[in-house]
């Protein structure tokens, strides 16, 4: 497993884009396109943001269900693992009532994952996507967001963190929903915060940047979710330090509880024995939103039983089972309120 981690780090270093070669500036919004599937062209095509005044609501949507999942980029067999993840997400989202819209945040994607996502018929039919390639990532892997096609997207941009050693960013999508017959802007922030217990720590600065954008003028309510790598004592208070709320805690969840852990259960055995389990993945929110539920998903999702060679090779890396990722996902449901 150590060799796998070393190889992944080396590959990321080799593909990192120097700041002199990218069009964005650290800690500043950089507009990027989002894409919708065009049946006539049989291709994903760039879509135009809609004015806030043309926001949704006509479809009777009054709730938003946000799924966030880190799909480990370091493991082999990316396509087989992402296929299993997407099959699970399809099963979960297909059961939602028509009044609830789905948004999916994914972290640690590689470009092959984006191809796999774009091939799925259910994704083409039901979602817009923020990325069809890695051109807006600083390095080898990054975040991507899937947004229910019924939601009006009014803006899409990234903020590449200045305080980062691992090329992390926040992927932001604004949507417009009707609340009491008035269009309201909801801001959806997908982020993979800095990993490890580095000194000095970088996650506090990253959450400050996130919170600034979540409370921007004109934003009625905002969500931020992802792999927040909460592995140090100060991580427990980052939401409160920045005037945000933690969805898991808001519904009665407790720290240091097995019910909240999202990393470790499916890690390589040696890693779990070394670091234990932790609540790395979180959902923060602020503004005119009410959290209606929070839970984990993705437990025991494995590479297909038909892929015996892939299953065996993943287990040989030190895993008890051929799990597709070392993280559980988190899902939170919200209602727009005044």
Closest CA to 323 of 336, 310, 335, 333: 310
The per-residue pLDDT for 10 is: 79
Rounded Cα distance, 156 and 120, in Å: 22
* 323/92 Cα distance (integer angstroms): 18
Residues 92, 264, 75: CA angle, nearest 5 degrees? 75
Nearest partner of 66 among 315, 337, 331, judged by Cα: 331
221 sits in which H/E element: strand 221-227
- Packing angle between helix 111-119 and helix 78-93, nearest 10 degrees? 40
Backbone torsions φ then ψ of 333, nearest 5 degrees:
-110, 135
- Pairing assessment for the beta strands 43-47 and 34-38 based on DSSP bridges: antiparallel
Q: Residue 210 belongs to what domain range?
A: 2-336
Q: How far apart are CA 112 and CA 123, in angstroms?
A: 16
Question: Which region, left, alpha or beta, applies to residue 67 given φ > 0 means left and ψ of -120 to 50 means alpha?
Answer: beta
3-state secondary structure of 72: coil
Looking at the chain, the number of H-run helices and the number of E-run strands are 9, 15
Task: Tell me how many domains the chain contains.
Answer: 1
- Would residue 4 be called left, alpha or beta, if left means φ above 0 and alpha means ψ between -120 and 50 degrees? alpha
pLDDT of the residue at 54: 57
pLDDT by residue, tens only, the chain of 338 residues: 667 767 777 777 788 899 899 999 999 999 999 999 999 999 999 999 988 765 555 478 989 999 999 999 999 999 999 999 999 999 999 999 999 999 999 999 999 999 999 999 999 999 999 999 999 999 999 999 999 999 999 999 999 999 999 999 999 999 998 877 889 999 999 999 999 999 999 999 999 999 999 999 999 999 999 999 999 999 999 999 999 999 999 999 999 999 999 999 999 999 999 999 999 999 999 999 999 999 999 999 999 998 999 999 999 999 999 999 999 999 999 999 98
Under a CB-based contact definition with an 8 Å cutoff, are residues 248 and 260 in contact?
yes
Tokens 């932790």 correspond to 278
One DSSP character per residue, 315-332 reads: HTTT-SS-BS-SB-EEEE
Stretch (H or E) spanning 43: strand 43-47
- Determine the pLDDT at residue 240: 98
Check which CATH number belongs to the domain holding 310 and give it: 3.60.10.10
Distance CA 177, CA 184 (A): 5
- Using alpha carbons, list the distances in angstroms from residue 35 to 49, 124, 136, 199, 266: 10, 10, 14, 39, 33
- Closest by alpha carbon to 24, among 138, 172, 156, 143? 138
Peptide bond into 227 cis (omega under 30): no
What pLDDT, on the 0 to 100 scale, is given for residue 60?
83
Q: How far apart are CA 180 and CA 271, in angstroms?
A: 50
């Amino acid at each position: 497993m150590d060799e796998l981690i070393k190889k992944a780090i080396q590959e990321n270093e080799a593909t990192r884009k120097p700041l002199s070669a990218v069009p964005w500036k650290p800690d500043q919004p950089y507009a990027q396109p989002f894409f919708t599937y065009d049946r006539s062209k049989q291709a994903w095509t760039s879509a135009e943001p809609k004015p806030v005044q043309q926001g949704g609501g006509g479809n009777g949507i009054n709730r938003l269900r946000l799924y966030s999942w880190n799909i480990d980029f370091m493991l082999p067999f990316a396509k087989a693992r992402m296929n299993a993840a997407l099959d699970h997400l399809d099963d979960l989202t297909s059961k939602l009532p028509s009044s609830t819209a789905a948004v999916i945040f994914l972290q640690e994607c590689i470009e092959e994952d984006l191809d796999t996502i774009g091939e799925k018929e259910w994704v083409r039919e039901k979602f817009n996507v923020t990325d069809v390639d890695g051109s807006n990532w600083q390095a080898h892997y990054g975040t991507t967001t899937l947004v229910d096609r019924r939601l009006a997207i009014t803006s899409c941009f990234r903020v590449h963190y200045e305080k980062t050693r691992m090329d992390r960013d926040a992927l932001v999508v604004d949507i417009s929903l009707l609340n009491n017959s008035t269009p309201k802007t909801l801001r959806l922030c997908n982020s993979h915060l800095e990993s490890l217990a580095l000194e000095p720590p970088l996650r506090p600065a990253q959450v400050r940047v996130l919170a600034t954008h979540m409370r921007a003028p004109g934003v009625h309510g905002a969500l931020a979710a992802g792999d927040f790598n909460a592995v140090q004592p100060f991580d427990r208070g980052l939401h409160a330090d920045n005037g945000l709320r933690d969805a898991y805690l808001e519904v009665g969840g407790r720290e240091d509880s097995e019910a909240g852990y999202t990393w470790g259960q499916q890690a390589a055995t040696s890693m779990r024995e070394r670091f234990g389990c932790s609540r790395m993945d979180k959902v923060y929110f602020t503004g005119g939103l009410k959290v209606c539920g929070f839970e984990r998903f993705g437990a025991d999702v494995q590479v297909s039983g038909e892929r015996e060679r892939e299953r065996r090779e993943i287990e040989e890396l030190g895993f008890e089972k051929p799990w597709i990722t070392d993280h559980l996902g988190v899902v939170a449901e919200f209602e727009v309120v005044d």
